[in-house]
Amino acid sequence: MINVVSVKFKDTGRSYYFDPVDMTLEPGDKVIVESAGGLSLGTVSNGTHAVPDDKIVKELKKVLRKATEKDFAQLEENRKKEESAFEVCERKIAEHNLEMKLVSVEYSFDASKITFFFTADGRIDFRELVKDLVAHFHARIELHQIGVRDEARMLGGLGICGRPYCCKQFLNDFEPVSIKMAKEQGLSLNPTKISGSCGRLLCCLKYEQEAYEALSKITPNVGATVKRDGELGTVIDANLITGNIIVKPNKEDAIPYKTNRKDVKIVSRGKKKAEKQENEEIEEI
């Protein structure tokens, strides 16, 4: 076992292990650590604790000290520099006629490196832009092309639910989301209703998917053959949440009836109809 402390550098995102040396740190403590990009200021997400040796994949960087008032002043100064750097970079992008959208600028804690995040439809040759930025800032410059989901996470905003974006609040990683989830949850396949502000499928489709998959296994599909009181019928509608189904008896002129999945026996599950047209309409999400 080895003592570590978990540190985050953003409100959302992953935590990283660091060597606390001889310090006892608590969640919420602000610390200065060594990182690949130089000194960084982070927040302790999990205080000093022991983990198995095999969880440490490379040599631990050290926590140098708890952050001081001087460090916070430096951080605030960096934020002001980032605003200025954003304006400079936007102007340089326009001068070079580059088809890219600047999203965010980040200064390293010691201001030795400046990272510019941008979105673009394709690959961008920004070599001349980097030269101009290096000449202007006299610092190490990095440009990172990001996706629209990362852009939403960085900028933040309100989703269609009226709450702040999940990716901005608490999601550490983007989970894979598919149109199949929307179908299985019985949602409208209207792109405007199941897409986030980023234009991609809503991350929250993933939240209840396991429950829907479990309910789907015990609920007869539309088109399935079921038996109740010795009488066979075909399911013409089903509600996964309530378990209620509507069955049309196989007898001629029989009237459909409403029952519950627990009151019928599944004889044949049938096949779900392919919804090719709906797939094509949603393809661009």
Strand pairing report for 113-119 and 231-238: unpaired
In tens, the pLDDT along 122-175 reads 888 999 999 999 999 999 999 999 999 889 988 888 988 889 998 888 887 788
Annotation: CATH topology of 220-268? SH3 type barrels. (2.30.30)
Confidence of residue 272 (pLDDT cuts 50, 70, 90): low
CATH classification of 73-146, choosing from 3.30.750, 1.10.150, 3.30.300, 3.40.50?
3.30.300
User: Which parts of the chain are beta strand (E)?
Assistant: 2-8, 16-18, 30-35, 38-51, 63-66, 101-107, 113-119, 140-145, 225-228, 231-238, 244-249, 257-260, 265-268
Q: What are phi and psi of 188, to 5 degrees?
A: -65, 140
Band the pLDDT of 283: cuts 50, 70, 90.
Answer: low
Q: What is the mean pLDDT of residues 244-258?
A: 91
Domain parsing of the chain, residue ranges: 2-67, 73-146, 153-209, 220-268
* DSSP conformation letters of 55-96: G--SPPPBEEEE--HHHHHHHHHHHHHHHHHHHHHHHHHHHT
Task: Give me the pLDDT at residue 56, please.
Answer: 78
Instruction: Round to whole Å and give the CA distance between 201 and 149.
Output: 10
Q: Which residues, at least 6 apart from 277, have a Cβ–Cβ distance to it below 8 Å?
A: none
Query: What does each C-alpha distance from 96 to 101, 114, 125, 247 come to in angstroms?
Result: 13, 20, 10, 66
Q: Which of 15-24, 84-93, 161-170, 216-225 has the highest mean pLDDT?
A: 84-93
Tell me how many helices (H) and strands (E) the chain has: 8, 13
Per-residue pLDDT, averaged over 204-220, amounts to 92
pTM: 0.72
Q: How far is CA 270 from CA 223, 226, 276, in A?
A: 5, 10, 18
